[in-house]
Structure 1
Amino acid sequence: MFKIEERSTTAESKGKIQVELHGSKYPHRLNFYDKPPLYDVSIEEFETSALNRLRILAEIESSAARNRTWEETKTVTSTQCEKYLPLKSSHALGVDKEAQRRTDHLGHFVLRLAFCRSEELRRRFVKAETTLFKVRYETDESTERESFLSSRDFNWIAVDKAEKDKFREELISYQTRAETFEADRYYKVRWTRVPDLVDRRKVFLKGGWAYVPSREQSSIVYQEFETHLERDLHATSRYMPRLDEDTRLGGILDNLSQGFLAGVSSEWSASPADVNSEAIRAEMVDDLAAKHFPMCMRNSHQRLRADHRLNHFGRLQYGLFLKVLGLSVEEAIVFWRKSFDRITDDTFNKMYKYNIRHSFGLEGKRANYPAKSCQQILTSGGDPGCPYRHFSPENLESTLLSTYGPQGLTSTDLYEIMKTVKGGHFHVACTRVFEITHSSSGVKKGDGIGGGESVTHPNQYTAKSMELAKAQEEKAAMVLG
């Protein structure tokens, strides 16, 4: 487990943490993470390595919630890994493999700290990490995989020819082709180590031993990885009270542990204004909301139009969303003034104009505030928040139909959406709504907002929706032209 300590003997080491590592080389792409790291890392590297890994684990959990096939899950996971946590083979040229494997190693151990603190978090972390290991195992080069297996003692017993011939008929009966029997290799382990193979009747059992053919050898490896990680997570949890004394890490770990709730969004840089190559004006917001906004922002817009007001949290959440959408400060003042049409100009200027300018970094400490991500909206507990989490089931169903019915969502879609909501996968529900309402643009189930990714930011949802609409308009113009 981690050994965290302040290093303040020099100016360079301040603000850094130290973590243990026995041995600095990473000979294999596959890793059981037996030994924790020991080297200085900045707080930024500590957090970034974990966030990039968490993006992948969150998408793995989303894949399970969306009932993706194994091949679909493997494709999406591999794509996410290439984007956020590349891990090239030992034969790859032109890449710093040592740096890649160091980042992978560090991120895993940081997430152990975040996810060891409850039984539920440990269960979800182990399941996602085991899936990630399986994907890497299956996509690893055969020579490197064999090298990794040879480097560890998996405590299996190779079945010799005499024993193999003794149980020839029994072994062949377990889906082994007779013509390949002589070339097949078998390994003997206690049956409790391969419960999945026993359950699927894939192995011959004798005297408490399971005879595992080489083609099913991976089951032993996966089970060993899972058991190893479960044990280490429990050991890490016993050290957490001491780690909680480090005030630098508490907020980071709390934020990471929320990662499965809403996925992990990257910092938003693109905006629909870039897609449209034109500024967003105040009078355009009504039309954009009806066509492109996710449910959280459409709900805020509808409440604003109905009540002519929003509470402080609602104004902040919706105002920052509109800012990133491409609404300038001048247009934002016009939009909010028209929305608050039941008050005088003097009241508006005193109560709201300063806050609007402040959100654009023109007042106060002049910070450029980003729009709220799904994770921030879900965990804030404020009003209006995320409809998928905060609405009652009945209200959510009726709102979904009334809001997105014109865009193709039907009552038959509600069962699947509500199932993911009840499972706590709120961003998965939002992603499925996006797929359904953009099917006319060629979006299919499982596509998400592109490449299988789930929605993790309201502006991300809106940008992709507007991008698809623009592509359709251009295509129609080409046909007519």
Structure 2
Amino acid sequence: MIRQEFSRVDPKRRAALDHRKKQFATPAFQNVEYKHRLNFYATPPTADITLEQFEQWAIDRLRVLAELEACSFRNKSPAETATHMKPLLDKYLPLSSSTSGSTALQAERQKDHYSHFILRLAFASTEDLRRRFSRVESMLFRLRFQADDVRERMAFVEGLNLEWETVSDEERREFAEELRAAGGGYPKRIEEESYFKVDWIRVPELVESRRVFLKAGKAYVPGREQLSMVVAEFTSRLDKALELTSRALPRLDEDDRLTPILTHLSQNFTTPDANYSSSATALPGADISARNHRHPFLLLPPLHAEPAPFTPSRRASQAFRPSTIHVISQRHWPEPRRMFEYRYNVRHTYGDVGGDSNRRGGGYSPFSCQKILTEHPPGPGEAHGCPYRHFSIDNLTALLQNVGVKDQEVLRGVKEDKEKTKFHLACNRVFEYVHKQEIKKVKDDGTWGASQLETIVHPNEYFKRSYMLKNMGKNPVETEGDVKMEG
């Protein structure tokens, strides 16, 4: 008796699915012509870009998405969000209309296309990241859809070939009263409005707010609610795409160039990272010099302005590195030895001496909020940390009340932010409360743009922005006299 073995997979089919062979195959297309400003991101990009573009484009988009999420958690209205985001979008992710005549139109749309897919790879690994990414990408799409030219928007929607069934005139007349009731009495004449019929699960936002008539599992959606329908379709497709992407992620482990970048991007979704340059901290009157030192052999805490900006991360953990010089007093040493150690310590702090060549010319790099939040908590003998992350809620509330935060709504918001692990939003909430008068002034005067008021992601930026707000209108020379050392 001859026993035959049968494979459950057809050899021809197996060969066709071999990704090790297909990954080196010539792509079906290289460059994409972007006809519309809006994009459902249905087609993955295949043209070559550099690793620098890969990372920078993703970082720029991440900054936009993180700020958009911050607007949501701060309960900004759609109009406030659109106003706040416009200069940030123009700076990091511009997207001109087809009628603008911009010469950079295709380049802008390519960056938007690629950056979306790069972050899709970075945030497909866990359910939480997929959910957050889908949410903020849908918010970004909605923002762009509303701001798009009417004719361009119509052409884009028509090109999607969405499976929307048009409600017939007979059906409109049959359910006229129900349709009018769902629309809050609008329209008065049912013939004045067009309707589409879709599965109710495709428009959950409209069902939740009771703005549609439901019958036999179908939602009768008026034409004026097209935005909700398109956004719901965008979200649905993106959720499915993220699931497929998550299954393909193991194949990327072999590429040691992309994996570290993607890991870094996903970690930064906790709070966007900031490449903080010490040269950017130069403020009139806030420099570290001999005239600001009360004694050369004291353990010097950070400089601050009067009125003193409240920087919890700085006060609680002394993590404000570039504006801090740690020189331990050794008064029993002979005068030549003490001067030598003092001079060496200062030069070592700023990277002029020492064995670590990476510090040369820059000194110790300051910790960003992202680094403080995601790395190990402060232990014995260590001086870093964030009170919003590492303090108990009772200790954090007491700290805030001690420095003048008495508003119960603010304290309640901080508690909710901390419970949701949105530590940077809690910090920004307190900053906006402490500086609400100054922020209102620079907004009303137009002296500060939205980019100068975006979410703070670095303790040094907290100090710098606070210092500038508290010393608005002061002469730089006069400001120097306000700078003193904390005791």
TM range, smaller chain: 0.7 to 0.9
Q: Distance in 2 between matches of 1:88 and 1:462?
A: 35
Instruction: Map 1:165-184; keep pairs closer than 5 Å.
Output: 165-175=173-183, 176-184=185-193
Residue 318 in structure 1 maps to residue 320 in structure 2: yes
Residue 298 in structure 1 maps to residue 315 in structure 2: yes
Q: 2:460 maps to which residue?
A: 459
Larger radius of gyration between Structure 1 and Structure 2: 2
Q: CA deviation at 1:131?
A: 0.5
Residue 257 of structure 2, aligned match among 245, 248, 254: 248
Conservation of the 8 A alpha-carbon contact between 2:197 and 2:219 = yes
Give the helix-richer structure, 1 or 2: 1
Q: Distance in 1 between matches of 2:468 and 2:214?
A: 57
Give the SS at the match of 2:47: strand
Q: CA deviation at 1:188?
A: 0.9
Conservation of the 8 A alpha-carbon contact between 1:20 and 1:36 = no
Residue 368 in structure 1 maps to residue 365 in structure 2: no
Q: CA deviation at 1:459?
A: 1.6
Structure-2 change in CA distance of 1:87 and 1:264 (3 Å):
farther
Q: CA deviation at 1:195?
A: 1.9
Q: Distance in 2 between matches of 1:20 and 1:4?
A: 17
Q: Distance in 1 between matches of 2:244 and 2:326?
A: 54
Q: CA deviation at 1:266?
A: 5.2
Q: 1:204 maps to which residue?
A: 213
For residues 39-69 of structure 1, give each alpha carbon's deviation from its aligned partner in whole angstroms, at most 9, with x where no partner exists: 2211111110000000011112212222222
Q: Tell me, which stretches of 5 or more residues in structure 1 are unaligned? A: 9-17, 302-316, 323-331
Q: 1:438 maps to which residue?
A: 435
Q: CA deviation at 1:214?
A: 0.5
Q: 1:122 maps to which residue?
A: 130
Residue 198 of structure 2, aligned match among 189, 205, 209: 189
Give the SS at the match of 1:210: strand
Q: 2:381 maps to which residue?
A: none
Structure-2 change in CA distance of 1:112 and 1:401 (3 Å):
same
Q: CA deviation at 1:70?
A: 2.3
Q: Tell me the number of residue pairs that the alignment of Structure 1 and Structure 2 aligns.
A: 432
For residues 311-332 of structure 1, give each alpha carbon's deviation from its aligned partner in whole angstroms, at most 9, with x where no partner exists: xxxxxx533x32xxxxxxxxx7
Q: 2:7 maps to which residue?
A: none
Q: Distance in 1 between matches of 2:228 and 2:465?
A: 40
For residues 349-368 of structure 1, give each alpha carbon's deviation from its aligned partner in whole angstroms, at most 9, with x where no partner exists: 89886565345232342252
Read off the aligned partner of 2:193 and give its amino acid letter.
D
Q: CA deviation at 1:22?
A: 6.0
Instruction: Map 1:283-362; keep pairs closer than 5 Å.
Output: 283=293, 288=304, 291-292=308-309, 294-301=311-318, 317-319=319-321, 321-322=322-323, 335-337=325-327, 339-340=328-329, 344=333, 356-362=346-352
For residues 209-256 of structure 1, give each alpha carbon's deviation from its aligned partner in whole angstroms, at most 9, with x where no partner exists: 211100112222111111111111111111111202222122211211
For residues 96-119 of structure 1, give each alpha carbon's deviation from its aligned partner in whole angstroms, at most 9, with x where no partner exists: 010001111111111011100001
Q: Distance in 1 between matches of 2:375 and 2:331?
A: 29
Q: CA deviation at 1:441?
A: 2.5
Q: Distance in 2 between matches of 1:141 and 1:4?
A: 44
Read off the aligned partner of 2:371 and give its amino acid letter.
Q
Conservation of the 8 A alpha-carbon contact between 2:373 and 2:385 = yes
Q: 1:428 maps to which residue?
A: 425
Read off the aligned partner of 1:200 and give its amino acid letter.
S
Q: Distance in 2 between matches of 1:170 and 1:350?
A: 87
Residue 228 in structure 1 maps to residue 243 in structure 2: no
Structure-2 change in CA distance of 1:279 and 1:227 (3 Å):
same
Q: Percent identity?
A: 38
Q: 1:83 maps to which residue?
A: 91
Q: Distance in 2 between matches of 1:126 and 1:27?
A: 24
Superposed CA RMSD in Å reads: 3.4
Q: 1:413 maps to which residue?
A: 410
Structure-2 change in CA distance of 1:96 and 1:247 (3 Å):
same
Q: Tell me, which stretches of 5 or more residues in structure 2 are unaligned? A: 1-18, 295-300, 379-383, 479-487
Structure-2 change in CA distance of 1:65 and 1:245 (3 Å):
same
Q: CA deviation at 1:439?
A: 2.8
Q: CA deviation at 1:435?
A: 1.3
Q: CA deviation at 1:145?
A: 0.5
Conservation of the 8 A alpha-carbon contact between 1:271 and 1:463 = no
Q: Distance in 2 between matches of 1:298 and 1:198?
A: 49
Conservation of the 8 A alpha-carbon contact between 2:317 and 2:386 = no
Residue 258 in structure 1 maps to residue 267 in structure 2: yes
TM norm structure 2: 0.79
Instruction: Map 1:15-30; keep pairs closer than 5 Å.
Output: 24-30=32-38
Q: Distance in 2 between matches of 1:98 and 1:385?
A: 44
Q: 1:391 maps to which residue?
A: 391
Residue 55 of structure 1, aligned match among 53, 63, 70: 63
Give the SS at the match of 1:471: coil
